[in-house]
Every structure is written in structure tokens, then in C-alpha cells.
Amino acid sequence: MVDALGRIAWPQGGDRAQFNQSLTRLRESLQEFTPWLKQRTIHCLGHAHLDLAWLWPIAETWDAAQRTFESVLALQADFPELTFTHSSPALFHWLEAHRPELFQAIQRQVKAGGWAIDAGLWVEPDLNLPGGEALVRQILYGQRYCAEKFGQVSAVAWLPDTFGFSWQLPQLLTQGGIRYFATQKLGWNDTNPFPHHLFAWQGLDGTAITGVTLPPIGTDIEPVDMAQYACQWEASTEWQECLWLPGVGDHGGGPTRNMLLKARRWAKSPFFPTLTFWPCRAPYLTDYWLGQNPPLRMKASQPKSKIQNPKSLSPFGTTNSTSNSTEAATPPTATRSFTIAAAKTPCFRLNYGRPWPC
């Protein structure tokens, strides 16, 4: 590679023809790498992170959501390959009440497989301060709404931008029918970098949930950034397929036309991994991986209680049909430490930012 790059005839004195010829020779000399590159796949999934409450009034949140979702639907008409995901059933609830035609169009896209509702919780909440009851209600209301309006509960707790996670979450998420915990915030530590991209997070009661370190959010179709992330993912997991989340974020926005045009161009390049958009009808990406590869080394465990069908839930807990009593699924929360077991790595308990072997 270095030798091939060294033979480029950089234009001196305006000799553009010689420069172009050297680029052609370089392209020909690199063709041998194409099969190796194409064995790897980057799955794109459009995304638009939207903070419900940050630097603007709530009225602007609703407006940003409407503009974002209308933009995605318009782009999907011109770019049928585009798939998109969003969390926060609270946004869809507002659309249902105030923009019913837009909400119905989203429902049709979900049914057609072009749109995923990766929610799991009512919003993407703070998970440090709320108590157990508040966390249970986040899951309950989010899953119940997804089941009623989109025909299924969410398999994913989509929490890319949440600052910190209660140790009780694996148990509560699993009780709510959620199989995956997904965030990219663990990668924000500049002192003790989180070492895993795909791992098992074991909660306080022993319940384990599969954790996924998401790629950065608010990103473009930038081939260098995408290739670097794909290399990091493969080095960590030994798997040659990864996810990428193109789309403007924080204040909504989502994928742009320019991003999608660039994706089409790079998909045709012989010097870039296979580039596709992930079909939302397919199993969740980790379902696909775990179905084809050895499973994560997770301790077998079952939650001590299990949230029932979201449609039959009381907002105050799970109803016992034999005794007519109500058990609130509100175990104490803890935020001090959590245990993970990841492929190729020993089990660690991360306590106050310092890794200690179990």
C-alpha cells in the first residue's frame, strides 16, 4: 500500500494527464484488496437523536419531531433503501394526537419494514436519579404503547445519549420484554475507556442482558470514520459486520439527501466494505450475529419476576390473578457498579470507573 501510494505522480507544472494515469495504475494495483474488503459489511440505519428537553422550549421539540419525520418519509420515497429508527413513544403519542396523518404514515412504514421503533422506554430518560417505580413506568408505558400502536413490544432499550445507568436495569429491562441494552455513552470516558463493543451486563439480582456499544450518533457518511469504527468493532468482537447511524441529531434532522447520495456512491466502490441499509423487518442485528456466531458468555439467569403482557398491566405493578394482590416491580436501584462478561475477555466488575476482576 505504501509503495503504491509512493508511485503517485503528484501534479507539478500542471501535468494533470500524468497524475490521472498514476491514479489509474494505483487503482489497478489495489484491486487485489477488494475481495477482502467486501467480506466486511457496514449496515446503515438512519437515525435522528432528539433531546425532548434541552436548549429549547417543548413546543420546539414537537416541531422538530414533525419536521424530522416528514423529511425521513419524503427521502424514503426517493431512496427506497433508506431505513430509519427512532425511540421515545412520547413523540409518537403527540403525533397521534396532533398530526394524525403523519402518525398513520409512520405506522404504514413500520408495517412495510422501512421504519423501526427501537424504544423500550417512554423517553430516553435520565437513569441516575429516578427510583425503581419511575424506571418501571418508563418501560411499562413505552412497551404498552408500542404493542398497541405498532403491533409489537420493542426488543431494544435504545439509550444512546443517557448519562449513566442504574445497576437494576438488566432485571427491569428483561422483565419488560427487552433483550438488548444499546448505548454509545460508555465510549465518552476519556480516562478509563470502556473496552467492549458487545457484552453481557449482569444486574444486581443476577439477570443478564446483552449490551451493544452503538456507533457515534449525529454522523454523516464519512468513509474514513466508518472504516475506523468498523476496524474497532471487528478487533473487539471478531465479527465483520457492524452498524452505522447516519443522520443529523440532538435537535432532530435525520439523514439528508447528500448523505444518501454519498452512501450510494461508496456502495459501488471496490475499495470500501459492503455498504447496505439494514432491513427493519430482519431480526435485530444482534439476533442476526448471535444466530451465526458462538453466543456471549452470559450467566444463565431468569428475573425473579416478569412483567406480563403490556396490555394487561396495571400502571402500579403486576396483578396476581389468584390472590388479587398487586406486586409493584420496584426493587431498590443502585448505580455504583455493574458486572459484564464479554467475548474474549474475563468478567469484570466496573466500580467507580476502576476495573476489578470478579
DSSP letter string, 281-340: TSPPHHHHHHHHSPPP-PPP---SS----GGG-BTTBEE-TTT--EE---PPP--SEEEE
CA distances, 149 to each of 39, 110, 146, 264 (Å): 38, 10, 5, 33
So what's the pLDDT on residue 11? 65
So what's the pLDDT on residue 212? 92
So what's the pLDDT on residue 24? 87
Mean predicted lDDT score pLDDT of the chain: 80
pLDDT at 291 over 60: no
C-alpha to C-alpha distance for 157 and 180, rounded to whole angstroms:
6
Average the pLDDT over 273-296 and give the result.
68
pLDDT at 93 over 70: yes
pLDDT at 177 over 60: yes
The CATH-assigned architecture of domain 47-292 is Alpha-Beta Barrel (3.20)
So what's the pLDDT on residue 12? 63
Instruction: Count the alpha carbons within 13 Å of 334 in the hemisphere toward its beta carbon.
Output: 15
Average the pLDDT over 281-302 and give the result.
51
Rg (CA), the chain: 23
CA distances, 38 to each of 34, 108, 150, 187 (Å): 6, 33, 35, 27
If residue 152 lies in a helix (H) or strand (E), which one and from where to where?
none
Say which amino acid occupies 288.
Y
| Residue 344 per-residue DSSP state | T
So what's the pLDDT on residue 315? 29
255 grid coordinates: 439523514
Average the pLDDT over 34-63 and give the result.
92
List the catalytic residues.
Answer: 161
Confidence of residue 301 (pLDDT cuts 50, 70, 90): very low
Residue found by looking up cell 495504475 in the block: 25
pLDDT at 307 over 70: no
Average the pLDDT over 59-76 and give the result.
94
So what's the pLDDT on residue 310? 41
So what's the pLDDT on residue 286? 60
So what's the pLDDT on residue 160? 93
Confidence of residue 190 (pLDDT cuts 50, 70, 90): confident
So what's the pLDDT on residue 27? 86
Apex CA 146: angle with CA 325 and CA 94, to 5°?
110
Confidence of residue 1 (pLDDT cuts 50, 70, 90): low
C-alpha to C-alpha distance for 260 and 5, rounded to whole angstroms:
29
Average the pLDDT over 321-342 and give the result.
34
Which pTM value belongs to this model? 0.79
Average the pLDDT over 331-339 and give the result.
33
